Structure 1
Amino acid sequence: MDDTSARDWLEAELADALDEDYELELEDAQLSAEIRRIYRQAHPAGIPRAEYFRTLIRLQSELIRLQSWVQYHKEKVVVLFEGRDSAGKGGVIKRITQRLNPRVVRTVALPAPSDREKTQWYFQRYVPHLPAGGEIVLFDRSWYNRAGVERVMGFADEDQVEQFFEDVPEFERMLVRSGIRVVKYWFSITDEEQQMRFLMRIHDPMKQWKLSPMDLQSRVRWEQYTKAKEQMFARTNIPEAPWYIVEGNDKKRARLNCIDHLLTLFPYEDVPHEEITLPDRVFNPDYERKVLPPELYVPPKY
């Protein structure tokens, strides 16, 4: 491949990467005209798209350095993402993991507990997902379900909630003593912003799957969730694993602020890397590539 061809190929690859970013952003664009108009009135000073992408890509490059440091030093990292429904947890998790190695950085989003799991020690179903050395685990909701949705919706009684508040600080101290770095984020949005995002989901066929009966009940029980959140902070904000609140009304700024803050929590630095060289292809003059039957190929419709 000559220099011109290599440059053209590299530019095409970079364009593909940018297209991938735009595809992720489409989820914010699939709105009816009326909802889009209302949303823009409520968010008049959004961060410019070019500035957002430049900053996001810079932060993602730092996440790659962090990943390498974690892998090299066999660090163990757990990051919890909590917040109200539609607060933006999933969006920031997507941007964190977008360019990272899924064998190093993985996301855990557990479903509702089974009948068997309901009889276990409360933390038991989370323990198998904790990281080994050289891994980062992102929990899209975590054991704090007991202090939030389970409490507000009546899936846990007050004795169970009180037991949780007594146990969770020591559980997290145990994790920290074992060498796991525990980071806890709460994504905060206003009542009006949540209502707006729920309306967007209702009017967007590509997002309606995100709305569950539980989500709709969270609108009815807004004040109960607020009281539960405040008690959760009061009982579980410990020095070994403090809470960090991300203001989430502006999705793009929330993503950038969260990633930037996460990076400041680790003393990561460049680590040794073996130089990568592409080996020469072994050429066998007697080999002839066979022509495969056309029915094996995916139809080239596009």
Structure 2
Amino acid sequence: MDHDRAGNGAEEWLKAELEDTLDEDYELELSEPALSLELSKIYKKAHPHALDRHTYFHELIRLQSELIKLQDWVAHTKEKVVVLFEGRDSAGKGGVIKRITQRLNPRIVRVVALPAPSDREKTQWYFQRYVPHLPAGGEIVLFDRSWYNRAGVERVMDFASPQQVEDFFRDVPEFERMLLRSGIRLIKYWFSITDEEQQLRFLMRIHDPMKQWKLSPMDLQSRVRWEQYTKAKEEMFARTSIPEAPWYIVEGNDKKRARLNCMDHLLQQIPYEPVPHEDIALPERVFNPEYERATLPYDLYVPQKY
């Protein structure tokens, strides 16, 4: 009977979480202006075989519950995990990172998205500015773009000389082997989308006030230099996908499937197990009969408009 009650409790929790997540998604849709909704309709027409929302959110919550177990195992065993997310602009890196971290502890799972290097950083050893962000024991670090900027945007936009790029290709396999020897688990993802898909996503960003902030001059240049990025990507795979730290390609045209596939694959790469947890009991509230709660000035409170 207790087992049945536990099972029913888990089902009820999952149902409640699913409803909350669907509500949040619906709320986001309603918050967008009419133009955004029209663009969403166009996008949906271009993806007629997308996952239905219920299936997507059900799987998303299931995978997120497994990520919590992974997080607990990393914290318990003092493992160190680094995950790199690379890909063309608008390929969906930020979306999957957001879903991975959504229910996790930010003290254990950190996202690193470094800006362009400063003048001082440009004079340093290339990998130097990434090293301070590497994990200590019991931490997971997700890099939203990484040291592979040199093989991609810096190369294509001529921010790095041919010699600097060649030095990078020579150094990066050994750099990553050093990380692995230090006990870091390194997982590298490339999000792949087609030319047509990127064009559609960029057009949506251009015409959607809610998403224009996502576009930068560099993003627009990536459209012009699509073929150069393709050649750079192909050489990057050929020269940096080492047996100890291979590249994994996530097909990203379908955003929802890409998120689920990446999360599922990430969980498969790490041999996490259940870890012991102490039972949590809510302590009794201590009441002091002589204590009287002070009345605070009304102007300290946020106005209750809603």
Q: TM-score range by the shorter chain?
A: over 0.9
Instruction: Identify the residue that residue 203 of structure 1 maps to in structure 2.
Output: 207
Q: CA RMSD for the aligned pairs? A: 2.2
Instruction: Tell me, yes or no, if the aligned pair for 2:18 and 2:58 is still in contact at 8 Å.
Output: no
Matches within 5 A, 1:32-43: 32=36, 34-43=38-47
Work out which of the residue numbers 150, 155, 159 in structure 2 matches 1:155. 159
1:187 to 166, 188, 191: 191
Give the Cα separation in 1 of the matches to 2:38 and 2:29.
19
- Does the CA-based 8 Å contact 1:30-1:204 persist in structure 2? no
Deviations 1:205-225 (A, max 9, x none): 010011000000000000000
1:106-185 correspondence runs (5 A):
106-185=110-189
Against the structure 1 CA distance between its residues 209 and 263, is the aligned structure 2 distance closer, same or farther, given a 3 Å change threshold? same
Pairwise mapping of residues 80-91 of structure 1 onto structure 2 (< 5 A)? 80-91=84-95
Deviations 1:264-294 (A, max 9, x none): 0011110011111100000101111111001
Q: 1:224 is matched with which residue?
A: 228
> 2:219 matched to which residue of 1?
215
In structure 1, which of residues 238, 249, 261 is the aligned counterpart of residue 242 of structure 2?
238
The residue aligned with 1:100 is 104
- Whichever residue aligns with residue 301 of structure 2, its letter is Y
Classify 1:13/1:132 alpha carbon distance in 2 versus 1 (closer, same or farther; 3 Å). same
Q: How far does the alpha carbon of each residue in 1:158-188 deviate from its partner, in whole angstroms, 9 at most, with x for none?
A: 0000000000000000000000000000000
Deviation at 1:33, TM superposition (A): 5.2
Q: Which amino acid aligns with 2:263?
A: I
Which TM-score applies when normalising by structure 1?
A: 0.93
2:296 counterpart letter in structure 1: L
Q: For 1:278, which of 276, 282, 285 is the aligned residue?
A: 282
Runs of 5+ in structure 1 lacking a partner?
A: 1-7
Give the CA deviation at 1:38.
2.9
Q: Distance in 1 between matches of 2:129 and 2:157?
A: 20
Moved over 6 A (4+): 8-14, 24-30
**By how many angstroms is 1:20 displaced?**
4.0
Shift of 1:240: 1.0
Q: How far off its partner does 1:301 sit?
A: 1.2
Amino acid across the alignment from 1:99: R
Q: Secondary structure at the match of 2:222?
A: helix
Q: For each residue in 1:91-131, what CA deviation from the matched residue of structure 2 results, as whole angstroms up to 9, or x when unmatched?
A: 00000000000000010000000000000000000000000
Residue 74 of structure 1 pairs with residue 78 of structure 2 = yes
Contiguous gaps of at least 5 residues in structure 2:
1-11
| C-alpha separation in 1, matches of 2:268 and 2:187 | 12
Higher mean alpha-carbon deviation, 20-29 vs 244-253, is at: 20-29
CA distance in 2, matches of 1:59, 1:125: 32
- TM value normalised by structure 2: 0.91
User: In 1, are the aligned partners of 2:180 and 2:186 still within 8 Å (CA)?
Assistant: yes
Equivalent pairs counted in the alignment come to 295
| One-letter code aligned to 2:72 | S
Residue 288 (structure 1) aligns with: 292
Cα pair 2:32 2:210 within 8 Å, conserved = no
Match of 1:146, SS?
helix
Change beyond 3 A, Cα 1:11–1:71: same
Amino acid at match of 2:165: V
2:119 counterpart letter in structure 1: D
Report the Cα distance in structure 1 between the residues aligned to 2:51 and 2:221, rounded to whole angstroms: 32
